[in-house]
Structure formats: C-alpha cells, structure tokens
Amino acid sequence: MQYKTDRRVQSENVILDIRNLSLDYIMPGQNIHAVVDLNLVARMGKITALIGESGSGKSTVALAIMGIQNRNAVISSGEIYLAGTDILSMPKKDLRSYISNHAGIIFQDPVDSLNPLLTVGEQLMETILMHEKITKKQACAIAFNQLLAVSLPQPEELMKKYPFMLSGGMCQRVTIAIASVFHPLLLIADEPTTALDVTVQAQILHQLDLMRKRDGTAILLITHDLGVVAEIADYVYIMKDGHIVESGTVDDIFCDPQHIHTRQLLAGML
C-alpha cells in the first residue's frame, strides 16, 4: 500500500503540514463546521501557537492530528501530512502506530490524563513495552531516564506512586514523559498549563522549550495565554469559528496584526 507522501514537506523541516482540512460534527438537525479549510504548518525545533476563543476549533484540530475523533466527527476534505505522509490516506490498521511513533499529545488536566488505578511506573512501562520489543529491565531503564529528562528526581520512588499522590505539576511532567518517551517529532500541548499555578506553569513551559531545543521537537502549543505566546512561540495561528483568520511570526502578529479579530484578541476584548 502506497501512502500519499510529500518530500518537499520533509526537506523544509516541516513536521506537520495540514492542508485545506474541513471537519464537521454531525448533530441531529444540524452540522457544526468545527474546522473549515484550515492550513497550518509546524516546523522542527519551533513552537507554533494556535490561539482563539473558546469553541473556535483548536482541540478538534489537535485530536484530528492524533487520529482521535469523536464518533460524530466527519472529515470532509483535506490532508494532514505528519513527517511527510498524509495520515488521512492511511488504512486504520497502520494509523495508530504511525501516529504514536511520530507525535505525542498532552492535555489541559494532567490528573485526568493519567490512569488513577495504575502507578506512574506501570503507565510509563505500558507505553514503552507497547512500542518496543524489549525486556522489562530495559524498559525500566528507559522509564528512569525519561523521568529524569523531565526533571523528576528519584525516579525509583516515583515509579511506585499513583497519580493522586503527586502534585498537578508533577502529574503534568509525567504526562510529558509518557508523550515524549520515543522522542516524537511533534508534541501537541493542548492548554498544558491552564490547570496549574503560575510558578508550575513556567516550569512546564520551560520543559517544553527544553524538548524543542534538545531534541528539535516541533511543538504545537494551544493556549489562551497571549503572554506565553509572546514569550516562547515562534509562529502564531489565530483561529475563529473553525477558520484560521491570520498567521505569521510572533513579531508579525503582535507588532502588526492585520485582522480585526486578532486586534480584538490582543486588546483582550475576547
């Protein structure tokens, strides 16, 4: 089976290239056009921010990239090139492993993202052993290193703990550890700090920035926090009612916004 690929995409350090994506939610009596003809690119070693008011379609885009769709979601057109291959042209049987080998996602509420019934070690080991045919001992060594890499000390102790025994910030680091265990080319962070207090927010963002610098990970950061965007993002996309209304470098967007909606967002009117 030959998938749709695009070499140009790979040569320009483009990890993610979404072209003309449209997605509807089918509801009784009405269809919600959650994503309309959307184009978006994320590059290696760069932070790309996706911002927009609540309900504009940001999480829908994130889930579509991860191949996770609600039952009532229908993609009516478009392509999602992840590492040069259009995932929408892939058969379902190959999709899961392809996506999980190339992309990871972390969500707003770290406590909800983790399984409350499994220890940190069990969750991390489960992910590692799902991907690699290695011994438990080897997987354990990877898990230790991974926890240290997200600045969680004493990994032996931590592996035995359940999520409820950890702070919100520690839980979010664990979700980053799980999402990044195979050094994904793309990490999607959907409002990763909204549920955390300000100091912890800064630490988590620092962690993402570190991954970008150290591993060259492309980060797609979904956030409401324009201060964060101004500080760490390289490129910005502004979304409204399923459409990208404006995009550009951080300087373009903050110094010379063109679209009225962007100006309103920046002025804090939305």
Ligand X SMILES: Nc1ncnc2c1ncn2[C@@H]1O[C@H](COP(=O)(O)OP(=O)(O)OP(=O)(O)O)[C@@H](O)[C@H]1O
Interface with Mg ion (CB under 5 A), residue from 48, 56, 59, 100: 59
Binding status of residue 60 toward ligand X by CB under 6 A: yes
Part in contact with ligand X (CB under 6 A); list of ranges 55-63, 96-104, 110-118, 243-251: 55-63
Among Mg ion, ligand X, none, what binds residue 135 when CB lies within 5 to 8 Å by partner kind?
none
C-beta separation of 154 from 170 below 8 A: no
Residue with tokens 């996770």: 68
Sign of torsion, CA 39 42 48 54?
Answer: positive
Part in contact with ligand X (CB under 6 A); list of ranges 49-57, 130-138, 162-170, 227-235: 49-57
CA-nearest of 93, 64, 80, 73 to 6 is 80
User: Least distance (Å) from ligand X to the CB of residue 146?
Assistant: 28
Binding status of residue 76 toward ligand X by CB under 6 A: no
C-beta separation of 237 from 48 below 8 A: yes
Binding status of residue 223 toward ligand X by CB under 6 A: no
Part in contact with Mg ion (CB under 5 A); list of ranges 55-63, 110-118, 171-179, 207-215: 55-63
Among ligand X, Mg ion, none, what binds residue 163 when CB lies within 5 to 8 Å by partner kind?
none
Binding status of residue 27 toward ligand X by CB under 6 A: yes
- CA–CA distances in Å: residue 231 to residues 43, 172, 207, 208: 18, 21, 14, 13
CA-nearest of 236, 242, 235 to 265 is 236
User: Least distance (Å) from ligand X to the CB of residue 215?
Assistant: 26
Please report which helix (H) or strand (E) contains residue 267, including its range: none
Radius of gyration, CA atoms only, the chain: 19
Residue with tokens 């999402």: 179
C-alpha torsion 125→127→131→137, nearest 10: -10
Binding status of residue 238 toward ligand X by CB under 6 A: no
Burial of 101 (0-12, 13-18, 19+ CB in 10 A): middle
Binding status of residue 50 toward ligand X by CB under 6 A: no
Part in contact with ligand X (CB under 6 A); list of ranges 50-58, 138-146, 159-167, 228-236: 50-58
Binding status of residue 55 toward ligand X by CB under 6 A: yes
Count the residues of the shown chain that bind ligand X, applying the rule CB under 6 A: 14
Binding site for ligand X (CB under 6 A): 25, 27, 32, 34, 52, 54-60, 70, 72
